[in-house]
Each structure stands twice: as C-alpha cells, then as structure tokens.
Amino acid sequence: MSQEANIVSTCPLCTETLRFTFNTDEIPFFGEIMLVSAQCTCGFRYADTISLNEREAARYELRFGSDDFTTRVIRSTSGTMHIPELGVKVEPGSGSEAFISNVEGVLRRVEEVVHMATKWSSDDPDKFELGNRLLETIDAVKRGEQEMTLILDDPFGNSAIVSPRAHRRALTQHEAEELKTGMITIDVSE
C-alpha cells in the first residue's frame, strides 16, 4: 500500500522553500521502496529511489555489446558507474539523480557528455583527439564490433544491473566506505 509524506526544506541553489515528497511502495525485485522527489522553480531537481529493505553494499559488473542494450540498469543516487574502456567514472554528488534505464541509455548519456566535452576542447588538439577516439569506440560498440564493461558500485545496495549475465558481488566494508554516497544519507545506527 502506497503512503505519501511531505517535508518542507530550503533549496540548496536559491534558498527558496522546497517541498520534498516521500512515497512508499512495493515493487518487484526491490521489495519495499521509498521514492523521494523535489523540484524548485529555479530548476533544481532531486529524485531518488531508496530500498527500505536492508541490503548489502554491492558491485554489479556486465561485459556488454549491442546485444545487451536492453539490459535494465537501476542506479540510485548512491551508485557509482564505471566504463573502464572509456576511462569513465560517474560518481554521485549533490545533484545526483536516480534513474532506471538500460545499457543503451547509459551509453547514450556517456556519449552525450563525451560529445559535449569534445566540442568544448576543440582548441586543445590532444583533448579533441581523445574525445573523438572515445566517440569512435562508442560507435564501434553500437555497431556490434566491440564490447565494453559496465561496473555499478553502490555502498547501500540500491543499484543493480538486472541480467543473468551480470556478475554481482558484495563490496568489502573498506570498498563501500571509499565510495561517494550522494546528497542524502541517514545513519540510523547512531
């Protein structure tokens, strides 16, 4: 049964009043979850999906090609994504948002950022060349000529790659402590 609550706070960007909405629900795979969202008139947005079940810190790893593009990827605001072949590491920060997508959507997000950074680096030949090489590598994966690795680490276990081909392992306490956690963390043990 879904429940809703609201908390009034201050926007971290413009300091205007900001209303956070919390909804709880039960969904397959995750169990009981809390959906948290807020949006300010200045453009600040926040969204997260938090598992209310106790989960262990986890790493998911998937070697993927174009045949895996429909594989579901769930990234909470505490999830860190890596694509080692591209030298890409996406860590959570204060503006981090949760999302549910697929491998193709993740690759498209990375491609957009690399494309923008490459355009901005047009006056630096080394960076411009590196950006173009990364874009060529992404195109090769999209054409089915190459594979990459997607790694998803989450110190709270709220992220996942949903595929029988994805390898999951628990993170050590040290590995989990080294990860960034995003904007909101609640420690109920203290």
CA angle (155 as vertex; 168, 163 as ends), nearest 5: 25
pLDDT tops 80 at residue 96: no
pLDDT tops 80 at residue 132: yes
Question: Two tokens at 14?
Answer: 């413009």
Q: What is the pLDDT of residues 174-188, one digit of tens each?
A: 999 999 887 555 555
| Predicted TM-score of the model (pTM) | 0.76
61-79 exposure pattern, b = at least 16 Cβ within 10 A, e = fewer: bbebbbebbebebbbbbbb
117-136 exposure pattern, b = at least 16 Cβ within 10 A, e = fewer: ebeebeeeeeebebbeebee
Identify the CA nearest to 137 among candidates 113, 107, 101: 107
Q: Are strands 167-170 and 80-83 parallel, antiparallel or unpaired?
A: unpaired
Question: Two tokens at 153?
Answer: 């680490």
Q: For the chain, which domains are there?
A: 1-53 (2.20.25), 55-190 (2.60.120.1040)
Q: What is the pLDDT of residues 14-73, one digit of tens each?
A: 999 999 999 988 866 667 888 888 999 999 988 877 777 768 999 999 999 999 999 999
